[in-house]
Structure 1
Amino acid sequence: MTMAANDTIAMDQITAAAAKCRIATPHDIVTNSECVYTFHSPYTTDKGIVVNLTTFVGTVDELAFTAASSSTSTNDDEAAVFVRICKKRVRKEKAIDGNNDDMMETTTTAIKLGMGIEGGFQSEQDKYETISTYSIVVGNNANGDGKLHVLTELPYDDTTKNSFPMLVSQSADAIICHAGLAVRQDLTAWELEEEPKPISKYLETLPFVDNGVKISHNPSDWMCEMSGDKENLWLNLSDGFIGGGRKNWDGSGGSNGALNHFMETGEKYPLVVKLGTITEDLSTADCYSYAKDEDCPVQIPNLKELLEKRGIIITGMQKTVKSTAELEVELNATYAFDAITEKGAHLVPVAGPGLQGLQNLGNSCYMNSVVQMLFSGTVPELSARYGMSAGAGTNTLQKIAPTKASDDLLCQTTKLAYALSSGAFCGPIPNADDDADDSTTDPKYRLAPRMFKHVVGKDHADFKTGQQQDAAQYFQYLLEKLDRAELGAGDRLKSKDGAGSALISSHLFSFKAESRLMCEADNKIKYKDGPIDTILSLRIPMSESTLPGDEMPDVKRQKSEDACDDDKEKNKVPTVSFDACMDKWAAPSIIDDYRWPHLQNSISKATSQTRFVNFPRYLLVQMQRYELGDDWQPRKIEVDIDVPEEFSFQKFRGLGPQDGETLVPDDVEGCEETSTNIPPAPAIDEGALGVLLDMGFNMNGCKRALLAVGGSSVDAAMNWVFEHNEDPDFNDPLPETTAASAAATSNSDVDETVVMSLVDNLGCFTADQVRAAVKHCSGAPDRAADWLFSHMDDLDGAIAALDNSAASNSTPKPPTAQLEDGDGKYDLVGLISHIGKNTSSGHYVAHLKKDGKWVIYNDEKVALSENPPIRHAYMYLFRRSDTVGSPNSEY
Structure 2
Amino acid sequence: MDLITKLASGCRVATAHDVVINSECVFTFHTPYTTERGIVVNLSSFVGSTDELAFTCCEDVATDPKLFVRIVKKRVEKDASAMDTEKQGPETEPSKIGVGVEGGFQAEQDKYETSSSYSIVAIDKDGAVVADLPYSDTTKNEFPMNVAQSADSIIHHAGLSVKQDLTAWELDDEPKPVSKYAESLPFEDNGIKVSPNPSDWKCEKSGATDNLWLNLSDGFIGGGRKNWDGSGGSNGALDHFVETGEKYPLVVKLGTITEDVSTADCYSYAKDEDGPVKIPNLKELLEKRGIMVAGLQKTVKSTAELEVELNATYAFDAIVEKGSHLVPVAGPGLQGLQNLGNSCYMNSVAQLLFSGTMPELSSRYGPTGDGIGSNPLLQISPQKASDDLLCQASKLASALTSGVFCGPVPDSIEMSDSSANDPKYRLAPRMFKHCVGHDHVDFRTGQQQDAAQYLQYLLEKLDRAELGGVDRLKGKDGSPALVTSHLFSYKTETRLVCEADGMVKYKESPPETMLSLRIPMSKATLPDSDSPDIKRQKSEETSDENKEKKQVPTVSFGACIDAWSAITCVDDYRWKHLPNNSVSNATSKLSLVNFPRYLLVQMQRYEIGDDWQPKKIEVKIDVPEQLSLEKIKASGPQDGEKLVPEDTDEDSSPAVASPTVDEGALSQLMDMGFTINGCKRALLAVGGSNVEAAMAWVFEHNMDPDFNDPLPEGSGASSTSSDVDEGVVMSLVENLGCFTPDQVRAAVKHCGGAADRAADWLFSHMDDLDGAIAALENSAAASASGGPDAKSAVPLEDGEGKYTLVGLISHIGKNTGSGHYVAHLKKDEKWVIYNDEKVALSQDPPIQHAYMYLFRRNDTLGSPHLDY
TM-score scaled to structure 2, two decimals? 0.91
Q: Which residue in the other structure is 1:410 paired with?
A: 390
Query: Alpha-carbon deviations, 1:402-449, whole Å to 9, x = none?
Result: 111111111100110011111110001112288863210100000110
Give the whole-Å Cα distance in 2 for the aligned partners of 1:191 and 1:469.
Answer: 17
Question: 1:263: how far off?
Answer: 1.4
Question: 1:530: how far off?
Answer: 0.3
Question: 1:572: how far off?
Answer: 1.1
Tell me if the contact between 2:824 and 2:832 (Cα under 8 Å) persists in the aligned partners: yes
Query: Alpha-carbon deviations, 1:103-125, whole Å to 9, x = none?
Result: xx984433343322333322111
Aligned: 1:582 with 2:572 = no
Aligned: 1:28 with 2:18 = yes
Q: Which residue in the other structure is 1:662 paired with?
A: 642
Tell me if the contact between 1:37 and 1:397 (Cα under 8 Å) persists in the aligned partners: no
Instruction: Find the residue that maps to 2:56 and give its secondary structure.
Output: coil
Q: Which residue in the other structure is 2:101 paired with?
A: 117
In structure 2, the CA distance between the partners of 1:216 and 1:620, relative to structure 1 (3 Å rule), is same
- What amino acid maps onto 1:510 in structure 2? S
Q: Which residue in the other structure is 1:4 paired with?
A: none
Q: Which residue in the other structure is 1:885 paired with?
A: 862
Give the whole-Å Cα distance in 1 for the aligned partners of 2:653 and 2:217.
Answer: 73
Instruction: Indicate the percent of aligned positions where both proteins have the same amino acid.
Output: 68
Instruction: Give the gaps of 5 or more residues in structure 2.
Output: 531-544
Tell me if the contact between 1:535 and 1:620 (Cα under 8 Å) persists in the aligned partners: yes
Query: Alpha-carbon deviations, 1:843-866, whole Å to 9, x = none?
Result: 111011111111111101111111
Give the whole-Å Cα distance in 1 for the aligned partners of 2:426 and 2:782.
Answer: 47
Between 597-606 and 122-131, report the one with greater CA deviation. 597-606
In structure 2, the CA distance between the partners of 1:757 and 1:652, relative to structure 1 (3 Å rule), is farther
Query: Alpha-carbon deviations, 1:517-555, whole Å to 9, x = none?
Result: 11111111111210110000000001111111179xxxx
Q: Which residue in the other structure is 1:246 paired with?
A: 225
Tell me if the contact between 1:788 and 1:795 (Cα under 8 Å) persists in the aligned partners: no
Given candidates 344, 350, 360, the residue that maps to 2:329 is: 350
Tell me if the contact between 1:18 and 1:165 (Cα under 8 Å) persists in the aligned partners: yes
Question: 1:209: how far off?
Answer: 1.2
Aligned: 1:216 with 2:222 = no
Given candidates 85, 90, 95, the residue that maps to 2:76 is: 90
Give the whole-Å Cα distance in 1 for the aligned partners of 2:295 and 2:560.
Answer: 68
Tell me if the contact between 2:467 and 2:783 (Cα under 8 Å) persists in the aligned partners: no
- What amino acid maps onto 2:52 in structure 1? E
Give the whole-Å Cα distance in 2 for the aligned partners of 1:532 and 1:705.
Answer: 20
Q: Which residue in the other structure is 2:535 paired with?
A: none
- What amino acid maps onto 1:856 in structure 2? I
Aligned: 1:442 with 2:422 = yes
Tell me if the contact between 2:194 and 2:290 (Cα under 8 Å) persists in the aligned partners: yes
Q: Which residue in the other structure is 2:709 paired with?
A: 732
Q: Which residue in the other structure is 1:846 paired with?
A: 823
Question: 1:253: how far off?
Answer: 1.3
Query: Alpha-carbon deviations, 1:609-664, whole Å to 9, x = none?
Result: 11011000000000000000011111001111000000001111001111111111
Between 761-770 and 318-327, report the one with greater CA deviation. 761-770
Instruction: Find the residue that maps to 1:95 and give its secondary structure.
Output: helix
Instruction: Find the residue that maps to 1:368 and give its secondary structure.
Output: helix
- What amino acid maps onto 1:93 in structure 2? D
Q: Which residue in the other structure is 1:81 paired with?
A: 67
Aligned: 1:858 with 2:858 = no
Question: 1:682: how far off?
Answer: 2.2
Instruction: Find the residue that maps to 1:207 and give its secondary structure.
Output: coil
Aligned: 1:64 with 2:54 = yes
Tell me if the contact between 1:469 and 1:840 (Cα under 8 Å) persists in the aligned partners: yes
- What amino acid maps onto 2:636 in structure 1? G
Give the whole-Å Cα distance in 1 for the aligned partners of 2:131 and 2:786.
Answer: 46
Tell me if the contact between 1:39 and 1:447 (Cα under 8 Å) persists in the aligned partners: yes
Aligned: 1:139 with 2:123 = yes
Q: Which residue in the other structure is 2:7 paired with?
A: 17
In structure 2, the CA distance between the partners of 1:61 and 1:691, relative to structure 1 (3 Å rule), is same
- What amino acid maps onto 2:613 in structure 1? Q
Give the whole-Å Cα distance in 2 for the aligned partners of 1:317 and 1:587.
Answer: 71
Q: Which residue in the other structure is 2:240 paired with?
A: 261
**Residues 290-309 of structure 1: matches in 2 within 5 Å?**
290-309=269-288
Tell me if the contact between 1:50 and 1:59 (Cα under 8 Å) persists in the aligned partners: yes
Give the whole-Å Cα distance in 2 for the aligned partners of 1:538 and 1:48.
Answer: 49
Tell me if the contact between 2:55 and 2:123 (Cα under 8 Å) persists in the aligned partners: no
Tell me if the contact between 2:732 and 2:759 (Cα under 8 Å) persists in the aligned partners: no
Give the whole-Å Cα distance in 2 for the aligned partners of 1:273 and 1:798.
Answer: 38
Q: Which residue in the other structure is 1:155 paired with?
A: 134
Given candidates 832, 845, 852, the residue that maps to 1:868 is: 845
**Residues 332-731 of structure 1: matches in 2 within 5 Å?**
332-388=311-367, 390-391=369-370, 394-432=374-412, 437-495=417-475, 497-549=476-528, 571-599=550-578, 600-669=580-649, 671-672=650-651, 675-731=652-708
In structure 2, the CA distance between the partners of 1:30 and 1:676, relative to structure 1 (3 Å rule), is same
- What amino acid maps onto 2:433 in structure 1? K
- What amino acid maps onto 1:547 in structure 2? L
Tell me if the contact between 1:94 and 1:106 (Cα under 8 Å) persists in the aligned partners: no
Between 659-668 and 185-194, report the one with greater CA deviation. 659-668
In structure 2, the CA distance between the partners of 1:392 and 1:522, relative to structure 1 (3 Å rule), is farther
Give the whole-Å Cα distance in 2 for the aligned partners of 1:244 and 1:677.
Answer: 72
Give the whole-Å Cα distance in 1 for the aligned partners of 2:486 and 2:97.
Answer: 52
Q: Which residue in the other structure is 1:324 paired with?
A: 303
In structure 2, the CA distance between the partners of 1:770 and 1:601, relative to structure 1 (3 Å rule), is farther
Give the whole-Å Cα distance in 2 for the aligned partners of 1:452 and 1:97.
Answer: 38
Tell me if the contact between 1:693 and 1:702 (Cα under 8 Å) persists in the aligned partners: yes
Tell me if the contact between 1:95 and 1:106 (Cα under 8 Å) persists in the aligned partners: no
Q: Which residue in the other structure is 1:825 paired with?
A: 802
In structure 2, the CA distance between the partners of 1:41 and 1:94, relative to structure 1 (3 Å rule), is same
Tell me if the contact between 1:680 and 1:751 (Cα under 8 Å) persists in the aligned partners: no
Give the whole-Å Cα distance in 2 for the aligned partners of 1:836 and 1:887.
Answer: 36
Give the whole-Å Cα distance in 1 for the aligned partners of 2:770 and 2:387.
Answer: 20
TM-score scaled to structure 1, two decimals? 0.89
Give the whole-Å Cα distance in 1 for the aligned partners of 2:702 and 2:147.
Answer: 66
- What amino acid maps onto 1:51 in structure 2? V
- What amino acid maps onto 1:351 in structure 2? A
Query: Alpha-carbon deviations, 1:584-605, whole Å to 9, x = none?
Result: 0000111112111222422111
Between 83-92 and 380-389, report the one with greater CA deviation. 380-389
Tell me if the contact between 2:720 and 2:753 (Cα under 8 Å) persists in the aligned partners: no
Tell me if the contact between 2:526 and 2:554 (Cα under 8 Å) persists in the aligned partners: yes
Instruction: Find the residue that maps to 2:81 and give its secondary structure.
Output: coil
Aligned: 1:198 with 2:177 = yes
Question: 1:498: how far off?
Answer: 3.8
Instruction: Give the gaps of 5 or more residues in structure 1.
Output: 1-10, 100-104, 552-565, 745-749
Aligned: 1:48 with 2:32 = no
RMSD: 3.0
Give the whole-Å Cα distance in 1 for the aligned partners of 2:322 and 2:254.
Answer: 41
Instruction: Find the residue that maps to 1:517 and give its secondary structure.
Output: strand
Give the whole-Å Cα distance in 1 for the aligned partners of 2:91 and 2:779.
Answer: 71
Q: Which residue in the other structure is 1:747 paired with?
A: none
Aligned: 1:225 with 2:204 = yes
In structure 2, the CA distance between the partners of 1:543 and 1:782, relative to structure 1 (3 Å rule), is farther
Tell me if the contact between 2:330 and 2:403 (Cα under 8 Å) persists in the aligned partners: yes
Give the whole-Å Cα distance in 1 for the aligned partners of 2:221 and 2:210.
Answer: 11
In structure 2, the CA distance between the partners of 1:756 and 1:609, relative to structure 1 (3 Å rule), is farther
In structure 2, the CA distance between the partners of 1:92 and 1:467, relative to structure 1 (3 Å rule), is same
Instruction: Find the residue that maps to 1:597 and give its secondary structure.
Output: coil
